[in-house]
Structure 1
Amino acid sequence: MNADPAALAAIRDRRSHSKVTDDAPPEALLAEFVGAMSSIADHSGLRPWRLIELRGDARLRLGEGLAAAAGEKREKYLAKATRAPLVLAIVVTPRINHKVPVWEQEAVASGVAHALGLLLHEAGWGSIWRTGPLTRTAPVHEAHELAPEEYLLGWLYVGGIPERDRKTKPRKPLDPARHLSAL
C-alpha cells in the first residue's frame, strides 16, 4: 500500500512563514479545519485541547501579557502580537484520567497544532509556530483567560503568503537511516 500523494506532498511542501500579508483565513474555513481535528490520535478521546482565535484588537491582549511577563516596553510586544492578522493560541486542557498521562494529552494538542499548520498551508495560507520563555508565565496565562489547570502550548501566527515566498525550493528529504531503526 502506498501513501496518498497529496498528503505526502502537503507534508513535504509545508514551510514556516515568518512574514505574512494582512489577509487571513475566514472563520468558516477555520471552523472546518477545527472540525477535522477529530482524526488526531487521542487516547480515550479526551480532546484535551482548545484553540483561542485572536484577530484585530484581541491580539493586543497577547502583546500586553507578553510585555507584562517580560517587564519591558509594551510597544515591542504589541508589534510581536500583531505581526499576523490571525493568531491561534493552542491551549492544553488536561483531563484527569488514570489511563492517559498529561504528557500524552499535551502530545494530542501538539498534533492539533501541526495538523492545523498543514491544513492552512495546503489551503494557501502561511503560518509559523511561535513559543518562547514567556509562553507559560502568569501574565500571559491571565491575558488568555485560561482556567487554572490549563496552559499554553504556543501560537500559530497565520496570514497570507507573500509573493516572494511562493517560489521556494523543495527541501531535501531526511535520511531515513538516521531517524528510523529496528530492534
Structure 2
Amino acid sequence: MDVMTAVLTRRSTSVLREPAPNDEEFRYLLQGAATAPDHGRLRPWRWILVRGEQQEVLAGCLAADSPDTAPDHIRRSLRRAPLKAVLVFCPHTGHKVPEWEQLAAASAMAQSLILLLHARGYGSKWRTGRLCTSGTLAERLGLNGPERLLGALDVGTADSVQPAERRAPADVRGHLSVLD
C-alpha cells in the first residue's frame, strides 16, 4: 500500500479482535515509526504493551481513580482490543531541544506507527481520557520523574473485511499561504 493510500483509507476502529501484532512485529513496525522527525534523535517516548489478563490490571488501576464509574464499564473499555499499546512521553529535561518539540516528535512517531499498522492490515484507535490522568496507573506502569501518559493505541484486526473507502483529500486552501 502506498503512503497516500494509507493516509486516505485509515480509519479509527472501535471493535478489534485477534490477531494483533505480536511483540516482534510491533517492534519491527516501531523501528520504522522511530524514523519520524525527531530533533536530536532523542526518542522521548516509550511503549508499554498490554495484553490479556494484564488489561485487568490496568482496569483495576483506572477503577481505583474513578470511583464514580462502574468497574465493569472500565473493564469492557480496556478489553476492546487484543493489544493496548500505552505511549509514555519521556521528555529530556534541560536539553537544548525544548519539551514542546520533543512532544511533537513523539506525536509524529505515533502517527507513523498508526499508518504502518494500517498498511499491515491492522486496525487501531487512539485513546486518551482517564488513562492519561490516572496516578494509580502511572505508578503501576513505573513512570518516572517528568514522564507522563500520552494515550493508548488499541490494536487488532477490524471485524469488517471491507476495505475503507478512500477519503477525498481535504480542502486545505484556507490553511496554506505562500510568503511573497
Assess same fold via TM > 0.5: yes
Q: Which runs of 5+ in 2 are unaligned?
A: none
| Residue 58 (structure 1) aligned with residue 54 (structure 2) | yes
Structure-2 separation of matches of 1:69 and 1:182: 49
| Residue 140 (structure 1) aligned with residue 137 (structure 2) | yes
Match of 2:18 in 1: 22
* 8 Å CA contact retained: 1:125, 1:160: yes
The CA deviation string for residues 18-42 of structure 1, in whole angstroms up to 9 with x for no partner, is 1112321122211111112331111
Match of 1:171 in 2: 167
* 8 Å CA contact retained: 1:127, 1:158: yes
Structure-1 separation of matches of 2:65 and 2:49: 21
* 8 Å CA contact retained: 2:34, 2:109: no
Written as runs of structure 1 = structure 2, the 5 A alignment for 1:37-116 is 37-71=33-67, 72-116=69-113
RMSD: 1.7
Deviating beyond 3 angstroms after TM superposition, the runs of 4 or more aligned structure 1 residues are none
Q: Which runs of 5+ in 1 are unaligned?
A: none
Structure-1 separation of matches of 2:85 and 2:109: 11
Between 50-59 and 101-110, report the one with greater CA deviation: 101-110
- The CA deviation at 1:17 is 0.5
Structure-2 separation of matches of 1:92 and 1:178: 32
Letter of the 1:121 counterpart: H
Are residues 62 and 182 of structure 1, via their aligned partners in 2, closer, same or farther at CA, if it must alter by over 3 Å?
A: farther
- The CA deviation at 1:77 is 0.8
Structure 2 counterpart SS, 1:32: helix
Aligned length: 178
- The CA deviation at 1:69 is 1.7
| Residue 122 (structure 1) aligned with residue 119 (structure 2) | yes
Q: 1:158 aligns with which of 155, 160, 179?
A: 155
* Identity, % of aligned positions: 38
Structure-1 separation of matches of 2:145 and 2:73: 28
Letter of the 1:8 counterpart: M
Letter of the 2:13 counterpart: H
TM-score of the two chains, using structure 1 as the length reference: 0.89
* 8 Å CA contact retained: 1:64, 1:143: no
| Residue 131 (structure 1) aligned with residue 128 (structure 2) | yes
Structure-2 separation of matches of 1:79 and 1:121: 24
* 8 Å CA contact retained: 2:5, 2:166: no
* 8 Å CA contact retained: 1:53, 1:86: yes
